[in-house]
Structure 1
């Protein structure tokens, strides 16, 4: 790393060879926490691959709704893989140094798949809106081809934003510290330890948060306003409840994903002090638990998927008996 020649001239500074990931300082026995994350990661992979396999092989599930669920499962696997294995390697093996380019790579993939998680929930809200608000035309308005186009758009928009966000980091200079106050190469903690003007990075961080999290959340809230309006037009209470049950699973996923994010930003907005270790463990749990719970909730609360699992178990029993 270049050294300072003149205090007022920040143009002489270059980016460092790499960064040191802070992790936890005050918390005791943090190795157990990362062993817990290892278990979370394994279960996340098994649960999401199970739900993807069921949707892939069951022709009755080849609909726009389950195409959106399949996309969410792909995002869950990708998000967890971008985040957890590296965190486990960093702290269980005390390998806290991350090369600069590797750090940028992790920033890209973690933030990209995290924002895609937000957009995937948006796509599911869109699917529920079409199914309930336009029940007689839902197959036409929301065919599998159109759903694939919607999913593709939901993958491209975050890609553009995150690429710009990451591309702005190499222009920064680091002259004081290279310790990142997080459990991975997080965008905010990385650019905030830079010297000089990082206002473009700050702007992109705000745009990322508002555009890829709060805007999708606002869209989801808006769709449910229309859904409630449609439900109120259903004459029978039984019919309203049956229609609402198709949304309950998605609402659960929305709560699990967005509530920790909203709480984190509200706490920051009211300027409540939270020590670094508590903040890090909170962000790590809010990032790793939703991909674990999403497939489990969909499996337990969706009759079509449970039926396919029962058929699979039944067929295996018959095969073992005949074998």
Structure 2
């Protein structure tokens, strides 16, 4: 069928978790709502802590701030719609809104990947080139790199939307997913998907694998540098400076790489399992990242402890005054 203005579809329907029994839909929406709240509260708290404590205005925490913002935006882009589907049985999304959601899903995923690249670069220079680190990495440097990441990440998702939007959609309008993405949408087009799917796959691989290649290189170099330290206590102290970043990077890349590699080697998942896996690796890291910062980052722990003591001391004084 030739392309052109042949799109009879005016809206799409998100199935969410295709095999979910109706009696569990309320529970699913409650869990998703709780996850959304935890993501908002956790990441917003880290941003507020950074804004009010000048001691955290360091390159490493400036990088983390980008991840916090990205996590909040991604969850806000994807979760409210699927929550309302199960709460109000409203899985419909307009044609244009679906493409807008698709753009932000892929855009924020690209930003996340580039920010993790910057994070690996920061730790690589800090540990492998400590004398050059204060000269090369400053807050201003991180701000420039972060802005570059947010700007450059627009290119590939915009290309996906521009190429997919004009396709003829004249058959099914059901997307077997919790949100609109490129594969879910273009599968519904009444045309050969290869000219659109292959460039999209290549773009996804570039965005995913190029940062991942540097991340593997940087942390391999870090491990080699740490092994050269004679003192075992010194090795542990050096590794602790990048443990939080390494955990975050692992949570982001490992499940994604597993899904991509499984498709290459021929391992196929049912729509239910695939949707669950994608939602887990999309939402679990944003939910636990703030906890990782607080447990693994020394400055963050100290800042939280000071804030807690500052809030509890006046309360104790007030209670004492009332009792007297």
Q: Structure 2 length normalisation: TM-score?
A: 0.92
Asked if the contact 2:169/2:189 (under 8 Å) is kept, the reply is yes
- Provide the residue aligned with 1:191 in structure 2: 186
Give the total of aligned pairs: 316
After superposition, give the CA deviation of every residue in 1:236-270 in whole Å (9 maximum; x if it has no partner). Answer: 22212211111111111112111111111122112
SS of the residue aligned with 2:93? strand
Write out aligned runs for 1:27-46 (5 A).
27-28=20-21, 29-46=24-41
* 1:176 pairs with one of 162, 171, 176: 171
Write out aligned runs for 1:229-244 (5 A).
229-244=224-239
Asked if the contact 2:2/2:191 (under 8 Å) is kept, the reply is no
> How far apart are 1:142 and its partner, in Å?
0.3
RMSD value, Cα: 1.7
- Provide the residue aligned with 2:9 in structure 1: 16
- Provide the residue aligned with 1:143 in structure 2: 138
Distance across 2 between alignment mates of 1:196 and 1:312: 58
Asked if the contact 2:15/2:175 (under 8 Å) is kept, the reply is yes
Write out aligned runs for 1:90-239 (5 A).
90-239=85-234
Please, which runs of 5 or more residues in structure 2 have no aligned partner?
A: 319-324
Write out aligned runs for 1:249-268 (5 A).
249-268=244-263
Q: Structure 1 length normalisation: TM-score?
A: 0.93
Asked if the contact 1:172/1:198 (under 8 Å) is kept, the reply is no
Please, which runs of 5 or more residues in structure 1 have no aligned partner?
A: 1-7
SS of the residue aligned with 1:34? helix
- Provide the residue aligned with 2:274 in structure 1: 279
Asked if the contact 1:24/1:30 (under 8 Å) is kept, the reply is no
Indicate whether 1:288 and 2:283 are aligned. yes
After superposition, give the CA deviation of every residue in 1:124-178 in whole Å (9 maximum; x if it has no partner). Answer: 1111011111212211110111111111111122111111111111220022211
- Provide the residue aligned with 1:58 in structure 2: 53
After superposition, give the CA deviation of every residue in 1:86-124 in whole Å (9 maximum; x if it has no partner). Answer: 111123211121111110111111221122222222211
